Amino acid sequence: MPHRLAVIVATPAHSTVVGPLSYLSELPLAPGTLVRVPLGRREVLGVVWDADPAAAPPPADLAEKPIAGVLEGVAPLPAAWRRLVGFAAGYYQRSPGEVALAALPVQLRGLNAVQLARRLKRVAPDLPATAQAAGAPALTQQQQQALAQLQAGPGPFLLHGATGSGKTEVYLRAVQDLLERDPGAQALVLVPEINLTPQLQSLFVARFGAEQVVALHSGLTHPQRLRHWLAAHAGAARIVLGTRMGVFASLPRLRLIVVDEEHDPSYKQQEGARYSARDLAVYRGRLEGATVVLGSATPSLESWQAGERGRYRRLAMPERIGAGALPRVRVVDMNHQPKKAVLSPPLLEAMAERIARGEQSMLFLNRRGYAPVLACTACDWKSDCPHCSAYRVFHKIDRTLRCHHCGFTERVPRACPLCGNLDIAPLGRGTERLEEHLGELLAGVRRPDGGAVRIVRIDADTTRHKGTLEAQLAQVHGGEVDVLVGTQMVTKGHDFRRITLVAALNPDSALFSADFRAPERLFALLMQAAGRAGRDAAQAAASEMWVQTWHPAHPLFAALRRHDFAAFAAQQLQEREQAGMPPFAYQALLRAEARTQEAAQAFLNAAREAAPGLEGAEHVVLYSAVPMAVQRVANVERAQLLAESTSRAALQRFLSAWQPVLLSLREKGLIRWAVDVDPLAV
């Protein structure tokens, strides 16, 4: 007699099919087994799911289809992994199939039995990991204390360590201690961005050997990702390094989870299931009995408050390795500088002195391209995007106007498209223009060997091609660069030993933003940028962080001068509590995209009108529908509605009850909608 199976598949977004589908199998299959099943006219990958004893049996007249096959050789996905997926799907209001199948390698969906068997043979052998002790530096006292606390309690732990305090070595030793105690254990180490993965991977490979370490991130080819995933799933890989997608890696013997730079917004997924990898890492640690370490020099206010209330155990590492001092912060009042000066004369002089001494400087401007806008001096024309409510950025290097939202690109016009005026000029400044301007300002400055100043720009435009980022970073590390110009890509995690001066240009836009999280992000970014200076203890005393601002009296800069994150966090948390903002309240956004703004807001208003009477609604405040900050992208109008509650549980009950209502609404012109739980931008 055939066995009935509950199978989850990647159902389309907003499908009314949100739970497992029923299929038949000649043999009983364990939950977690990967199978191929017919779905409509296609054959898709599915996961045998745990049967719900309370679920009603399928109708007697339903013609249940048999499964098409089983992926032989791949062990069933563990129960803890399935519980993680189930929790993420429920909390973030998505279907289990969408979450589960997005976490699996794409190649699993199309390989036949012979191809899969060939891939399985390439998985590294299951060998015990051993640390290469000779390559391990001696620990400082604060590192030893942090490790001792990690070993003494369950956590979760918040490792609050200054930039350059040796957090990475603590991660390495924590992994080493784990594998020495339990040779079969596995560790997961998450980083916020792909460009931080190679250097971290080289450290772990040098310490533990290449056969023990695999990476999981979107920069891998499909065959690489499948091979690494299989090695982790089989237990052959003891250490998995990954970006946010790594939180869903199948690790049957997971005992340690590290989330480096835990404050970084990149851990929040912005498409599909909008999950927070950091928050899921904490949940997964509790689920599997694994130790969780969240590390940062500038923790998120949510994590900091959890430490204040005792939910996380806080570990402090305030001192830099080698007794090196944190850079001196100098705030430059641009109100007292020459008009239209891009770099203040004192900053320019300080850079020239360092170049003459053979030291490096870094200029941080979080805006790529040559200029954010190209404008006509005779009429009101600006380089707006015809498909978005945003301007196209002027890129001088290839003479294009490029929209950073939809990608629409055109050659720069010879004259104004409206009035024919030939005098069209760039407004504002991006990293490309800054690089050019620096070349002009530093033309007369000479290096110790008498050579001209060498300037390198690192941003999303200069690192598009494979291997270019690694090559540029090698130039910086090798001393072949005098001035590094970059966006936030260069402010995180890099161990630049020769940089003694870091300057932040034009950071003021975040000071008075409508986004209540903007000051938190700015402070973290400036602290991280400052941390790139003076990492060599011999040069630490002379290292400086310069901040050019039109608002030098702002309290954020007072805390930055003292490198006092605790004071900044206390002030921000006090303001948040008074305003009833997270982490003292819980939020979710309902976002809608439609052909017109009216259709998008009509859907949101209909959803709001249907909300009273739903479970938990009495504890939830629904605000009016409003256009999003960038209202139109690629000719699609966007709007959002905020739901807020002082109770996380009440908000979750309400969202669950609201979901079928949203699925039932059929607004003409609506393209798609999504619920974003714990949004980063409101």
pLDDT at 247 over 80: yes
- Residue given tokens 């590294």 in the structure block: 124
pLDDT at 493 over 80: no
Contact predicate 582/302, CB 8 Å: yes
Q: Which of 259, 289, 321 lies at the terminal end of a domain, its last residue? A: 321
- The annotated binding site for Zn(2+) is made up of 376, 379, 385, 388, 403, 406, 416, 419
pLDDT in tens, 26-37: 999 999 999 999
What is residue 324's three-state secondary structure? coil
Q: Which of 412, 427, 442 lies at the terminal end of a domain, its last residue? A: 427
Contact predicate 417/426, CB 8 Å: no
- The answer to whether residues 568 and 591 belong to one domain is no
| 481 assigned to some structural domain | yes
| 434 assigned to some structural domain | yes
Predicted pLDDT of residue 152: 86
- Residue given tokens 């460009």 in the structure block: 195
Q: pLDDT band at 135, cuts 50/70/90?
A: low
Phi, psi for residue 416 in degrees, rounded to 5? -60, 125
CATH number (domain holding residue 31): 3.40.1440.60
Predicted pLDDT of residue 124: 53
- The answer to whether residues 161 and 285 belong to one domain is yes
- The answer to whether residues 410 and 472 belong to one domain is no
Helix locations, 182-221, DSSP H: 197-208
pLDDT in tens, 204-245: 999 999 989 999 998 899 999 999 999 999 999 999 999 999
Q: pLDDT band at 14, cuts 50/70/90?
A: low
| 479 assigned to some structural domain | yes
- The answer to whether residues 573 and 605 belong to one domain is no
User: How high is the mean pLDDT of the chain?
Assistant: 91
CATH number (domain holding residue 183): 3.40.50.300
- The answer to whether residues 484 and 558 belong to one domain is yes
Element (H, E) at 102: helix 96-102
- The answer to whether residues 566 and 609 belong to one domain is no
Burial class (CB in 10 A: 0-12, 13-18, 19+), 396: middle
Q: In whole angstroms, what is the distance from residue 578 CA to residue 585 CA?
A: 11
Q: In terms of Cα–Cα distance, which of 207, 206, 197, 199 is closest to 174?
A: 207
Contact predicate 68/109, CB 8 Å: no
Q: In terms of Cα–Cα distance, which of 491, 481, 417 is closest to 453?
A: 481
Name, in order, each residue with C-beta under 8 angstroms of 596's C-beta and a sequence gap of 6 or more: 637, 669
- The annotated binding site is made up of 376, 379, 385, 388, 403, 406, 416, 419
pLDDT at 120 over 60: yes
Helix locations, 103-186, DSSP H: 113-121, 141-152, 167-181
- The answer to whether residues 570 and 600 belong to one domain is no
| 120 assigned to some structural domain | no
| 127 assigned to some structural domain | no
Q: Which of 577, 599, 630 lies at the terminal end of a domain, its last residue? A: 577
What is residue 682's three-state secondary structure? coil
Please report the DSSP string for 252-305 in residue order.
Answer: TTEEEEEEETTT-GGGB--SSS--BHHHHHHHHHHHHT-EEEEEESS--HHHHH
Number of Cβ within a 10 Å radius of residue 554 = 16
Contact predicate 46/7, CB 8 Å: yes
Q: Omega of the bond prior to 583 within 30 degrees of 0, cis?
A: yes
Q: In terms of Cα–Cα distance, which of 315, 276, 309 is closest to 294?
A: 315
- The answer to whether residues 418 and 463 belong to one domain is no
Q: pLDDT band at 197, cuts 50/70/90?
A: confident
Helix axes 79-91, 648-664, angle to 10 degrees: 80
Predicted pLDDT of residue 597: 97
Helix locations, 357-497, DSSP H: 431-441, 468-477
Q: Find the mean pLDDT for residues 348-352.
A: 96
pLDDT at 609 over 90: yes
Q: Which amino acid is at 217?
A: H
Q: Which of 192-201, 250-259, 611-620 has the lowest mean pLDDT?
A: 192-201
Q: Which amino acid is at 166?
A: G
- Structural domain for 26, as ranges: 3-102
Helix locations, 296-362, DSSP H: 301-308, 345-356
- The answer to whether residues 295 and 331 belong to one domain is no
| 126 assigned to some structural domain | no
Strands laid side by side in the 65-66 sheet: 65-66, 21-25, 3-9, 42-49, 34-39, 69-70
pLDDT in tens, 456-478: 999 988 988 888 888 998 899 99
| Residue 189 bridge partners (DSSP) | 241, 258
Query: How far apart, in Å, are the Cα atoms of 264 and each of 193, 196, 300?
Result: 9, 13, 8
Predicted pLDDT of residue 132: 52
pLDDT in tens, 323-341: 677 899 999 999 999 998 9
| 114 assigned to some structural domain | no
Q: In whole angstroms, what is the distance from residue 222 CA to residue 587 CA?
A: 36
Predicted pLDDT of residue 134: 47
Predicted pLDDT of residue 127: 44
Q: Find the mean pLDDT for residues 13-18.
A: 70
Helix axes 301-308, 565-579, angle to 10 degrees: 90
Residues present in the chain in total: 682
- The answer to whether residues 465 and 573 belong to one domain is yes
Please report the DSSP string for 590-603 in residue order.
Answer: EEEEESSHHHHHHH
pLDDT at 117 over 50: yes
- The answer to whether residues 147 and 226 belong to one domain is yes
How many distinct structural domains can be found in the chain? 5
The beta strands (E) that lie in 59-181 are given as: 65-66, 69-70, 157-161
Q: pLDDT band at 125, cuts 50/70/90?
A: very low
- Is the pLDDT higher at 73 or at 258? 258
Angle at CA 458, nearest 5°, toward 457 and 463? 125
- The answer to whether residues 391 and 451 belong to one domain is no
Q: Find the mean pLDDT for residues 510-534.
A: 90
| 407 assigned to some structural domain | yes
Q: Find the mean pLDDT for residues 515-528.
A: 93
Composition of the chain by helix, strand, coil, percent to 5: 35, 25, 40
Q: pLDDT band at 308, cuts 50/70/90?
A: very high
Number of Cβ within a 10 Å radius of residue 330 = 16
Q: In whole angstroms, what is the distance from residue 271 CA to residue 275 CA?
A: 9
Contact predicate 84/246, CB 8 Å: no
